[in-house]
Amino acid sequence: MAKYNKVSEAVIRRLPKYYRYLKDMEKNGVQRISSRELSDKMGLTASQIRQDFNCFGGFGQQGYGYNVSELCNEIRKILGLHKNYNVIIAGAGNLGQALANYIGFEREGFYIKAIFDVNPRLIGMSIRGIQIMDIDAMKDFITNNDIQVGVVCVPKDKAQEVTNQMVESGIKSIWNFAPIDVETPDDVAVENVHLSDTLYTLVYKMNEI
């Protein structure tokens, strides 16, 4: 159920960045921060930050600044990171394995339960204790293991098919790394990550400097 109907995509996309910065500050023992200081660190204006936070009811008192650890917790809750999520990865190639190997996800409550592939040489192996299984077993696994997040790391021409299988089995969010925009029904969230987009932005910036 939508709690923050009017929050723009741009604000939503800044939330993870706030969260990252605040977590770092918390870790470094910073207890309180003004929107001015936060804006200096993050390269946003102080007014932008106040506006963003007001979308969620605002978290600070004027002139008094934000309690870093409270603010961090609030944003964690807004993002939904106070809950745990069960995750599967389709595709045990380099990228699928890189994601399976990254322990940072677990720290935020994302538990990778299995990886699926078509390659018989990979099936049966495991990565950090996470089994690589036959992709034919994926739909049953999703149904039986309360999986919320499906990660798509298969080749471009299989990405939509695998996404459909995930959706049919009840997955409610798709994190897609194949270089194509996969489509999902309205009640299934999707993020199509296009790694090359940031590379193109990078060379644009380099050429502009």
Q: Count CB neighbours of 110 within 10 A.
A: 19
Does 209 interact with a copy of itself (rule: CB under 8 A)? yes
- Look up residue 145 and give its amino acid: N
The string of DSSP letters for 83-109 reads S-EEEEEE--SHHHHHHHH-THHHHTT
Q: Which is nearer to a copy of itself, 61 or 207 (CB)?
A: 207
Does 2 interact with a copy of itself (rule: CB under 8 A)? yes
Binding a copy of itself (rule: CB under 8 A), the pick from 6, 10, 63, 121 is 10
The C-alpha atoms of residue 185 and residue 164 are separated, in whole angstroms, by 9
CB 101, CB 77: distance < 8 Å: no
Q: Which is nearer to a copy of itself, 17 or 36 (CB)?
A: 17
User: Within positions 119 to 178, which residues make up the interface with a copy of itself, using CB under 8 A?
Assistant: 148-149, 172-175
CB 119, CB 134: distance < 8 Å: no
Does 190 interact with a copy of itself (rule: CB under 8 A)? yes
Binding a copy of itself (rule: CB under 8 A), the pick from 105, 113, 118, 169 is 105
Binding a copy of itself (rule: CB under 8 A), the pick from 124, 143, 168, 202 is 202
Binding a copy of itself (rule: CB under 8 A), the pick from 94, 120, 121, 157 is 94
The C-alpha atoms of residue 201 and residue 122 are separated, in whole angstroms, by 35
Strand partners, 86: 111
Q: Count CB neighbours of 38 within 10 A.
A: 23
Does 17 interact with a copy of itself (rule: CB under 8 A)? yes
- Which distant-in-sequence residues (6+ apart) come within 8 Å of 119 by Cβ? 92
Binding a copy of itself (rule: CB under 8 A), the pick from 37, 59, 93, 118 is 93
User: Within positions 19 to 78, which residues make up the interface with a copy of itself, using CB under 8 A?
Assistant: 19-20, 78
Q: Which is nearer to a copy of itself, 137 or 189 (CB)?
A: 189
The C-alpha atoms of residue 75 and residue 38 are separated, in whole angstroms, by 14
Phi-psi region of 183 (alpha: psi -120 to 50; beta: other; left: phi over 0): beta
The residues binding a copy of itself (CB under 8 A) are 1-4, 10, 12-13, 15-17, 19-20, 78-81, 85, 93-95, 97-99, 101, 104-105, 108, 110, 148-149, 172-175, 179, 186-191, 193-209
